[in-house]
């Protein structure tokens, strides 16, 4: 599933293509919304909330999408054909300049903007939200501590606690903090600092492709532990470990250094 920085950047691109323009094309390839037509409506904003994308119109409607595991958006010039398989297309929104196309989207729905809380109100503080600050980090820390026996590696992936972290940034955040992913959340000393580190990693990568946490964007050099199982830790040389945890069917992979993360 894409990390929050990918979703943030996708929202930025959609905003640049659609905001301030009247829709001249609207096509929903989802049975429930097949008859919805937004043609003639002004797009006011495209924004991200955690891993959710929200495209708002002046008519008080919001197109809510989620990439899930395989989804993606493509933007092409008006009149061009979107690069993707037509049977995987879920929604087309376009104006006189640009055509945006969402493929394999895990969620595609249209709702009243006033009712957005029904789909994103359950989320925790947004790590890339405009209101992220020390106070927000403290709120996130309080949520992390609500179930003190829960493994911190599992808690950080819970979008109702923190919105935006995926398996990559969770692994990298915990490594840089020296915290074992299996450690109970209640025993982690500085939870606000941990949450803020996740924010800083996402923020540093949101304007570019890839997820570089080491400061080196070259392939194979961009992460400390993620994707490096069985290879030596960049700091101490201990072999990186890999494991899975979570409820049946919802397992998430973890990477960690057993020496650097105690």
pLDDT at res. 209: 83
Same domain, 241 and 146: yes
pLDDT at res. 1: 72
Are 125 and 139 within 8 A, CB to CB? Answer: yes
Which residue matches tokens 């729905």? 109
Integer Cα distance of 242 and 237 in angstroms: 15
Structure tokens at 201: 């990693």
- Average pLDDT of the segment spanning 27-56: 97
Same domain, 138 and 237: yes
Which residue matches tokens 């992936």? 157
In a domain, 47, yes or no: yes
- Average pLDDT of the segment spanning 156-165: 96
Integer Cα distance of 191 and 225 in angstroms: 21
- Average pLDDT of the segment spanning 108-133: 97
Q: What is the pLDDT of residues 221-240, one digit of tens each?
A: 999 999 999 999 999 999 99
Same domain, 13 and 71: yes
CATH of the domain at 211: 1.10.8.50
Distances (CA, A) of 68 to 1, 108, 161, 171: 5, 11, 18, 19
- On whether the pTM is more than 0.85, the answer is yes
| Mean pLDDT score across all residues of the chain | 95
Out of 94, 120, 146, pick the residue that ends a domain: 120
Q: For residue 246, is pLDDT > 70?
A: no
Same domain, 9 and 74: yes
User: Structural domain of residue 26, as residue ranges?
Assistant: 4-120
Q: For residue 244, is pLDDT > 90?
A: no
How many C-beta atoms surround the C-beta of residue 120 within 10 A? 19
Active site positions, annotated: 2-3, 51, 252
């Amino acid at each position: 599933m894409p990390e929050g920085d990918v979703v943030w950047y996708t929202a930025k691109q959609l905003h640049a293509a659609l905001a301030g323009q009247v829709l001249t094309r609207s096509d929903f390839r989802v049975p429930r919304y097949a008859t919805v037509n937004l043609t003639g409506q002004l797009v006011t904003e495209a924004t991200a909330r955690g891993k959710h994308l929200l495209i708002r119109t002046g008519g008080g409607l919001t197109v809510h999408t989620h990439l899930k595991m395989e989804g993606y958006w493509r933007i092409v010039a008006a009149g061009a054909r979107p690069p993707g398989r037509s049977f995987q297309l879920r929604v087309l929104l376009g104006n006189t300049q640009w055509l945006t196309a969402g493929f394999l989207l895990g969620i595609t729905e249209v709702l009243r903007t006033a009712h957005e809380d029904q789909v994103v109100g359950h989320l925790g503080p947004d790590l890339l939200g405009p209101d992220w600050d020390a106070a927000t980090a403290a709120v996130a820390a309080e949520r992390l501590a609500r179930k003190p026996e829960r493994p911190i590696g599992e808690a950080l992936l819970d979008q109702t606690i923190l919105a935006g972290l995926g398996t990559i940034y969770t692994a990298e955040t915990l490594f840089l903090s020296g915290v074992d992913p299996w450690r109970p959340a209640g025993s982690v000393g500085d939870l606000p600092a941990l949450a803020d580190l996740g924010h800083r990693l996402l923020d540093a990568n949101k304007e570019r492709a890839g997820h570089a946490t080491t400061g080196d964007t070259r392939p194979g050099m961009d992460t400390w532990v993620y994707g490096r199982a069985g290879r030596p830790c960049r700091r101490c040389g201990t072999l990186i470990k890999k494991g899975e945890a979570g409820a049946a069917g919802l397992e998430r992979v973890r990477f960690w250094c057993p020496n650097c993360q105690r």
